Amino acid sequence: MNKLAGLLVAFALVAFTAADTYAQRVVVRTRPARPTVIVTRPVAPSPRAVWVEEEWVPQGRGYVWHGGYWAAPPRPGVVWIAGHWRHGRGGWVWIPGHWR
């Protein structure tokens, strides 16, 4: 039960960060390159858990990379839509991943 509680807290933090990230809309002229870091995927904490590949988090006038993590779907039947870069006026913006 402690693992599930920890996973839910981690998911809530990521969700709040993603919501805040979307509101900030940091625009960069050059899209940052994904680091050449090998992420070893740990064992899933539950059969329902979904692996989230990567996220970019705004920091100052740019973004920092946050490696993959396990997340629990908020309800049955939803799927994780991965975050992605979108080119817009003035540069690139990271669109955070979300559940749909």
pLDDT of residue 12: 46
Query: Residues 24-54, buried b or exposed e (16+ Cβ, 10 A)?
Result: eebebeeeeeeeeeeeeeeeeeeeebeebeb
Q: How high is the pLDDT of residue 67?
A: 84
Instruction: Report the pLDDT value the prediction gives residue 96, as an integer from 0 to 100.
Output: 92
**Which ranges of the chain have pLDDT less than 70?**
1-24
The pLDDT assigned to 13 comes to 46
What is residue 2's predicted lDDT score, i.e. its pLDDT?
A: 54
Question: What pLDDT does 5 receive?
Answer: 43
Give the Å distances, CA to CA, from 24 to 3, 36, 79, 90.
Answer: 31, 27, 25, 15
What is the pLDDT, as a whole number, of residue 16?
A: 47
Residue 69 token pair? 């993590």
